[in-house]
Copies of this chain bind each other. A is one copy, B any other.
Amino acid sequence: MTIGRPRAFDTERAIVQAMRLFWRNGYEGTSLSDLTDELGIARPSLYAAFGNKEALFLKVLDRYDRETYHFIQAALDAPTARALAERLVYGACAFHSDPENPPGCLMVHGALIGGEASASVRKETNHRRSLLRHRIADRLRRAKLEGDLREDADPVALSAYLVAILRGIAVEAASGAQPEDLRAIADIAMTAWPDRKAA
């Protein structure tokens, strides 16, 4: 079938292992030696399979969005605006409380800042973060049309607020906050959500 020597490692498994490293130590904080040590493969194998460090990180981002940070999609599928908000903030609490997950959020910690060498990677994570806000805003606009969000509510402002809460929870979790601390934040955050009746 496939010609040539077969690959001696599982690329999907390698991406997950790389994701955990980037997640914990950031893009610049994770060296090629860290990666090859953790993955148990030699350097040229990694380059042959993924291209280079940046390309591997992009693959990791895709995997993170698609299969790890998936409470976002569950939230966007919620039937009402309030359910969307609840699934977002409490989903973030559960996500960042899961001891299986490294602390914080890969999208925030992975490449929020750094030197000029990681500028393109930073741009990509920035883009994905703003994309999330737009997806939430679109869903809230639809909620207004469907009548489960007040007429005077501002979808753009509310989506910015929700995303800010997610970032705040992620940073606090990375700083060592306990699950109950995160839930307290989410509880208070939800009291700001507009009810169906006018003010």
Q: Mark A residues whose CB is within 8 Å of B.
A: 24-26, 28-31, 34, 104, 108-109, 112-116, 118, 126, 129-130, 154, 156-158, 160-161, 163-169, 171-172, 174-177, 181, 184-185, 187-189, 191-192
Contact = CB atoms under 8 A, between A and B. Distances in A.
A175 B113 contact: no
Contacts of A184: 154, 156-157, 160-161
A73 to B, nearest CB: 21
A129 B176 CA distance: 10
Nearest to A102: B113
A61 to B, nearest CB: 15
Nearest to A181: B160
A175 B122 CA distance: 9
A113 B185 contact: no
Contact of A113 (B25, B156, B166, B189): B25
Nearest to A169: B164
A198 B194 CA distance: 19
Given A31-B115, A114-B25, A126 B172 contact: no
